[in-house]
Chains A and B, each alone.
Chain A
Amino acid sequence: MDAFALRAANRLVGNGDGAAALELGGGPVAFELAQTGLLAVAGSGVRVTLDGRAVPNWMAFLARRGQVVEIAQGAGGCWAYIAIAGGIEVPLVLGSRATYLPGAFGGLAGRCLQVGDALPVGPTTIDLLQWAGASIPAEARPPYAQHPTLPVIFGPQANHFTPEARATFCAAVYQVSHTANRIGYRLTGQALAHARSADILSEGVALGAVQVPADGQPLVMLADRPTTGGYAKIATLASVALPLLVQCEPGQGQVRFQPIALAAAQRQYRQQLAALWPQFVED
């Protein structure tokens, strides 16, 4: 859900961007290391302890065999990512290690983790001691907040909405509803009026697409969304907006949308990822 935090956690432990990690949506979770490893936890509002002692997040830390890591998702965020040097080596399904819960396949047996599960870790070539303490400074992270402004790009069916609806979309505040989940975040607020039918011929749905069914309430399509859909889409969130939205707590987060140019959106995204490199502690 928060692709930036996942990438950050992986980079902190020397993994490639495609390495499998754990996503925590809620919690707490506790696990014991079967062998020494280098871990990092990234996300918003997350608290980590190692054998009961607090560990900063957005930082690589060494955990020795037998030590217990506990992670809890506190206020101010919803999703945390736990990466380990070497990556989680569950089998590839359709070329991916990710879990697709709606279809119950991928990841570890297509389901959420349960007490007693053992996770295989792949080999790593980095020097664990040298990397321990590497961190991502706050200024390199997204400006997580519970009332963020989300950059969006109008389309693909912006002209299916009235001019008043397009103006409302940029001015109104929308609340993240309690039904927000991996499929999409439903928002509640001022209804957006269609200039014609809310239905379109089914077509592909981009990540971050803002669908608006007949009830006029926006629905932002996310990680587990259906690949195609038949509702008109007024706009698409810029890639940099996605971490800000998904870390808004259901029932509490409030967002507003701000149109930006496509070129600016791509530039911001590249700049954000260009700055995402671990800072090593001076010896």
Chain B
Amino acid sequence: MHPLTISPVGDSALLIELGNSIDLALNQRVHALARQLQAAQLPGICAIVPAYANLLVHYDPLLLDYEQVEHWALAMIEQPTAQLGAAVTRCIEIPVHYGGEAGPDLAHVAAHCGLSEAEVIARHSNAIYQVYMMGFTPGFAYLGGLDPTLATPRLATPRVRVPAGAVGIAGNQTGIYPVASPGGWQLIGQTPLHLFDPQADPPTLLAPGDEVRFVAQ
């Protein structure tokens, strides 16, 4: 069992480590702690970034020094964890147009995995994925649960532009590009859904703890 550790990251952040692996139960504890810290609303805490197995707490060193933040975090951790929100798991369905112009790398993924394109689509869309964390770009969800038989390395040369809504595979990860950006993922399909809208509340379609299914159109 990985001991909980707290350490400084520069002079304006602090890292709380609960573990070092991709593990659903561990990740749920990360998000429960993140919700607890967020709810405390300590002045000087700027942002809390939960990840697979740790949380990065950004603070303003004009208002708080490292020892104060560490002391506060330890006190919060020692409190009994109340169920703060997220008792219900949402299942989000993502409609996907697989292949063709929407999925220019589907043939390559099929060939690499020794499967037909239809089999790749079936295995990708028959799974339930877990949202482990948000990050990278606005609305991007790190998904766990890709069938290992679909794992395909990234493009050797990334594309200059991947359109918003592109569904891809990189190594043993799968995900959706929420905004157009350069990218090296193998693109197998496209969703018309908007994963990020800064005017919406909440601004992201997905959230940690959600389950996601891809539905072939």
Residues of A that sit less than 8 Å from B by CB: 93-94, 100, 102-106, 153, 155-156, 201-209, 226-229, 236-239, 262-263, 265-266, 269-270, 273
Contact = CB atoms under 8 A, between A and B. Distances in A.
Q: How large is the interface on B (under 10, 10 to 19, 20 to 34, 35 or more residues)?
A: 35 or more
Interface stretch (B79-87, B120-128, B136-144): B136-144
A266 B54 CA distance: 24
A208 B11 CA distance: 10
A239 B49 CA distance: 19
B58 to A, nearest CB: 7
Nearest to B64: A266
Interface stretch (B2-10, B88-96, B105-113, B147-155): B2-10
Contact of A155 (B8, B62, B66): B8
A262 B51 contact: no
Contact of B13 (A100, A105, A206, A228): A206
A229 B52 CA distance: 11
Given A203-B56, A262-B66, A227 B10 contact: no
A280 B69 CA distance: 37
B167 to A, nearest CB: 19
Contact of A228 (B15, B58, B135, B203): B135
Contacts of B52: 201-203
B22 interface: yes
A226 B8 contact: no
20 contacts: A102-B137, A103-B137, A153-B9, A155-B8, A156-B7, A201-B22, A201-B52, A203-B52, A204-B56, A207-B10, A228-B135, A228-B136, A236-B10, A237-B10, A239-B11, A263-B66, A266-B66, A269-B61, A270-B61, A273-B62
Contacts of B65: 263, 266
